[in-house]
Amino acid sequence: MSRLQHGHLVLTAVVVLSGVSACAQTALTPAERAELEMLSRQLAEPDRAAKTKREAALLLLSRTYPQAAAKVEQFLKDDSNRPAQIAVAEAIAESGQTRQEFVKPLLAMLTGPEPSVRTPAANALAAFKDPGVLDEFVKLVADRRTDPAARLVIIAAMQRILDKKAVDALIGLLDDPEEAIRNAACDSLAKLTSIPFGRDRGRWKSWWSANKQKPRSVWLADLADSLARANLQLDRENAALRRRLASAMNDLYAATPPAGRDALLIEMFKDPLAEVRLAAARLTQQRATNSQPLPEPLRAQVQARLTDPSPAVRREIALLLANVADAPAVRLLADRLKDENTPDVREAIYQGLGLLRDPKVWAQLVEGILKEEQRVAAAAAAALARVAEKGPVDDDSRSSAVSALKKRYEAAEGGDSADLREALLTAMGQLKEKRLADLFEKALKDPAATVRLSAIKALQSLAQGKSAAAVAPLTSDPDRSVRLAAITAVGALGGAEHLETVLARTDAHVEPDAAVRQQAWSVVMGLLEKADAKKLRLLADQLAGRQDAKDYLIQLFKLWASKIPADDVAEWAPVRLQLGEVLLAADRPAEAAAELAAVHAAMLKAGSSDAPRVWIKWVEAMLAADDLSAATRIAENTHEKQFAAAVEILANRVEALRAKKDWDGLVRLAGAASRQLRDRLSDSRRQWLQQALAEGLEQQRLADRQHVAALVPRLAGADETARTAAEKELVAMNSRALAPLLGELRKTLTGEGPDGIVERAILKLLAKLAPQLTGYALNAPAADRLAVVDGWLKKLGS
């Protein structure tokens, strides 16, 4: 049964069952029953378009027979059919056809876990005249435990409720701790009242204080329910149109041959629709990234759009001009700043001027810092910082900027001005004005982490060592970025007296972030560059007690050793000895052996009584590093006690290799020891060593056979990459591969039928590994070929 047939059966059953329950209601005419079934089917079937579903819901809402309302309520409650829920909710919002029984399922959709149904549900509820619905809205948005996404959806819907209680609730949200909630409340107030206060919360509060006592008819006389519903429909259709249009223009541009794209952009810039011009600006922005200059006709269109009627286009053009960096760009942006009234565009102009970094606009940037609203002033400050970064600033310009920045900073208070304070501090830091040090230190206590971060960087830019004392406490700041910056600044400011504070951040028990710990250690090492031996010794003792600090301790000893003159053996030998011991404990035996060899040679030359102990450590490190010269060093030692101790260490190493099943390593070490130490070993130790070597060889041969047996099928396979890799591995085994290969060749000859491909592959490899093996003829009888292989095996001693 198809899904469509199944849907028809389910719908028929639903309608029949509905008819049973409706017997107490007014009976439907045949036409009404047919209509109800058709509309229900359109809402229920998953393949129907969203538009079709919404139109079906609108028709159901317009019908007066009670079965239609019951069906609407049924679809609203059906969580398994989200498209139908959305369509019905949108139809309620569009038509204004509301019923009390719809409220509960719509509220369930609004507060439920499914994001896609929240906005339609909120818009539908906004169409209700029942004051209880608005009360529910107010309660939900005021409760900070409500899902933030649901709060935002409700706030957006409240712009359509023409009630003073809605306005009062939105005004109350202007002090919400969440910035997104505050901004959404401002946006809804702007759409509800058509007053252009934007996100200026102070102006909204003042306006409401002056108007909340006025009659509703006075302050909302020009608005009506039909206008709110029309705007909802218009917003939805316009949003969809803009998305389709932008996508179509992008597709058209991509499909146009490169030679014709500039001409297309010019035509798009001339289009009467703002969305097309905006698409042209964005596409030109992408084009500008290929480093090719814009042709004159296109450049002229770009410049002309700086006065475009659409603020969105003007904003995009301001940034585009800065990225293209044409010669007149600075002049054009600076001139436009004199006439531009839209904050978003002014912000973009300042951003563009910052990208261009031309000192000629210094005075305009200073003025913008003083006079613009917060977000725009922050952009002006960021632009000034970029200009200052480019090169030296004359005294008058510096003085005017410092005065403006300080004045605006001191006036910027409250959580919603953190971005502005951060930008102002960044600009002040770029000016490197030492008179601002006290202000920077005060900013270290700002509640906003981004502001504290900017203050740290500003103090670092002043390069005054005394500032390290103010910055050091922030190495334990709750914010990771602040801790990282504080640690870096202490190092840059040369705060050696705060070494212990920074060192604490290298401990995983204290600092949870690995990157911060690493940076803290880098700063510690930098601060230790000028430390004396006493300081280094104390720090080494401190780190020796930390299990997580082996790598740090190694770096410390290396630094310490590098500070000691090469001819001062008595001074560096103990340090390098500790370094060797720490390297050995950190499982870096090869490095440890190198250090211990140097220390032993120096002690031996000086006649130190510690030379034998160091020699033992050296042998231990060489053995741990699988350095076979350890056997030579042991054989050279004529002191019986040292020899015996070294042999014991060697035996422990052999046992360790056996436990790891490192048969190659065991064979190498046991073989070297047997050759060089045989004459000095006791009978029992010699016998033990021979047994270990024999076991290692046997296990090695077994492992070789297994490895070769796994490689041979790949050697004869169809995959060239696999064949090459298998051949490379077998060649690397050298003579150890011969006997296993001959075994595999013998296996293929004695099988049910010789495998010619495998046979030829093995013979080809044998010719490389052992050209002395001759006499094998591929066309000879299998018994003769087998005899040749047996002869080769006998020759090899297998």
pLDDT in tens, 236-270: 777 788 778 888 888 899 999 999 999 999 999 99
Q: Do 13 and 110 lie in a common domain?
A: yes
- In this prediction, residues 722-731 reach a mean pLDDT of 93
pLDDT per residue as tens digits for the range 495-528: 889 999 999 999 999 999 999 999 999 999 999 9
* Residue 684: inside a domain: no
At residue 4, the pLDDT reads 33
Residue among 194, 150, 193, 155 at smallest CA distance from 172: 155
pLDDT per residue as tens digits for the range 544-577: 888 888 999 999 999 999 999 988 888 999 999 9
Residue 2: band (very low, low, confident or very high) from pLDDT cuts 50, 70, 90: very low
Whole-angstrom distance, CA of residue 452 vs CA of residue 429: 12
Quickly list DSSP for 681-704.
Answer: S-HHHHHHHHHHHHHHHHHHHHHH
Q: 61 pLDDT exceeds 90?
A: no
- In this prediction, residues 455-480 reach a mean pLDDT of 96
The DSSP 8-state label assigned to residue 556 in this structure reads H
Q: Do 34 and 84 lie in a common domain?
A: yes
pLDDT per residue as tens digits for the range 135-156: 999 999 988 899 989 999 999 9
Residue 546 near residue 507, CB atoms below 8 Å: yes
pLDDT per residue as tens digits for the range 284-322: 998 887 667 889 999 999 999 999 999 999 999 999 999
Q: 10 pLDDT exceeds 50?
A: no
Helices (H), 147-198: 148-158, 164-172, 179-193
Helix (H, G, I), strand (E, B) or coil at 366: helix
Phi, psi at residue 532, to the nearest 5°? -90, 175
Q: Do 7 and 120 lie in a common domain?
A: yes
Structure tokens at 744: 């595999």
Residue 446 near residue 452, CB atoms below 8 Å: yes
At residue 392, the pLDDT reads 87
Quickly list DSSP for 654-674.
Answer: HHHHHHTT-HHHHHHHHHHHH
Burial 660-678 (b: 16+ CB within 10 A, else e): eebbbbbbbbbbbbbebbe
Q: Do 121 and 141 lie in a common domain?
A: no
At residue 241, the pLDDT reads 80
Q: Do 69 and 86 lie in a common domain?
A: yes
Q: 229 pLDDT exceeds 70?
A: no
Residue 444's alpha-carbon distances to 439, 492, 602, 616, 791, in angstroms, are 9, 17, 53, 55, 86
* Residue 306: inside a domain: no
At residue 385, the pLDDT reads 96
Q: Do 121 and 181 lie in a common domain?
A: no
Residue among 207, 178, 176, 177 at smallest CA distance from 190: 207
Structure tokens at 351: 């951003």
| Single residue among 128, 154, 169 that ends a domain in this structure | 128
At residue 202, the pLDDT reads 92
Whole-angstrom distance, CA of residue 712 vs CA of residue 718: 12
Q: Residues of the chain with pLDDT > 70: what percent?
A: 94
- In this prediction, residues 626-655 reach a mean pLDDT of 95
Q: Do 74 and 85 lie in a common domain?
A: yes
Q: Do 108 and 142 lie in a common domain?
A: no
Residue 154's CATH number: 1.25.10.10
Whole-angstrom distance, CA of residue 262 vs CA of residue 269: 11
Instruction: Mean pLDDT check: name the lowest of 75-89, 231-245, 341-355, 624-638.
Output: 231-245
Q: Do 146 and 173 lie in a common domain?
A: yes
CB atoms within 10 A of CB 294: 19
* Residue 61: inside a domain: yes
Q: 451 pLDDT exceeds 90?
A: yes
Residue 646's alpha-carbon distances to 120, 289, 597, in angstroms, are 82, 68, 15
At residue 312, the pLDDT reads 94
Q: Do 109 and 33 lie in a common domain?
A: yes
At residue 682, the pLDDT reads 92
Residue among 307, 370, 316, 374 at smallest CA distance from 341: 307
At residue 798, the pLDDT reads 57
Q: Do 109 and 144 lie in a common domain?
A: no
Structure tokens at 193: 């009242």
Contacts of 251 (CB under 8 A, 6+ apart): none
pLDDT per residue as tens digits for the range 587-619: 999 999 999 999 999 999 989 999 999 999 999
Looking at beta carbons, which pairs linking 451-454 to residues 24 or more positions away fall under 8 Å? 451/418, 451/421, 451/422, 451/425, 452/477, 452/479, 452/482, 453/422, 453/479, 453/481, 453/482, 453/485, 454/421, 454/422, 454/425, 454/426, 454/429
At residue 290, the pLDDT reads 67
At residue 559, the pLDDT reads 92
Q: 454 pLDDT exceeds 60?
A: yes
Task: Domain of residue 142: give its range.
Answer: 131-232
Residue 123's alpha-carbon distances to 105, 137, 659, 760, in angstroms, are 14, 11, 72, 79
Instruction: Mean pLDDT check: name the lowest of 83-97, 204-218, 676-690.
Output: 204-218
Instruction: Mean pLDDT check: name the lowest of 6-10, 53-57, 564-568.
Output: 6-10
Q: 223 pLDDT exceeds 80?
A: no
Q: 584 pLDDT exceeds 50?
A: yes
Q: Do 112 and 6 lie in a common domain?
A: yes
* Residue 1: inside a domain: yes
At residue 19, the pLDDT reads 43
At residue 9, the pLDDT reads 35
* Residue 332: inside a domain: no
Whole-number average pLDDT of the chain: 89
At residue 15, the pLDDT reads 38
At residue 755, the pLDDT reads 72
Residue 8's Cβ-count burial label (10 Å; 0-12, 13-18, 19+) is middle
At residue 645, the pLDDT reads 96
* Residue 9: inside a domain: yes
* Angle separating helix axes 296-304 and 274-287, nearest 10 degrees: 130
| Single residue among 111, 128, 145 that ends a domain in this structure | 128
Domain count, the chain: 3
At residue 716, the pLDDT reads 87
Whole-angstrom distance, CA of residue 555 vs CA of residue 579: 9
Handedness of CA 212, 218, 221, 225 (dihedral sign): positive
| Single residue among 168, 202, 232 that ends a domain in this structure | 232
- In this prediction, residues 205-221 reach a mean pLDDT of 78
Q: Residues of the chain with pLDDT > 90: what percent?
A: 63
Looking at beta carbons, which pairs linking 604-607 to residues 24 or more positions away fall under 8 Å? 605/569, 606/569, 606/570
* Residue 637: inside a domain: no
Residue 25: band (very low, low, confident or very high) from pLDDT cuts 50, 70, 90: low
Q: 225 pLDDT exceeds 80?
A: no
Residue 218: band (very low, low, confident or very high) from pLDDT cuts 50, 70, 90: low
Whole-angstrom distance, CA of residue 617 vs CA of residue 597: 9
* Residue 96: inside a domain: yes
At residue 436, the pLDDT reads 94
Q: 226 pLDDT exceeds 90?
A: no
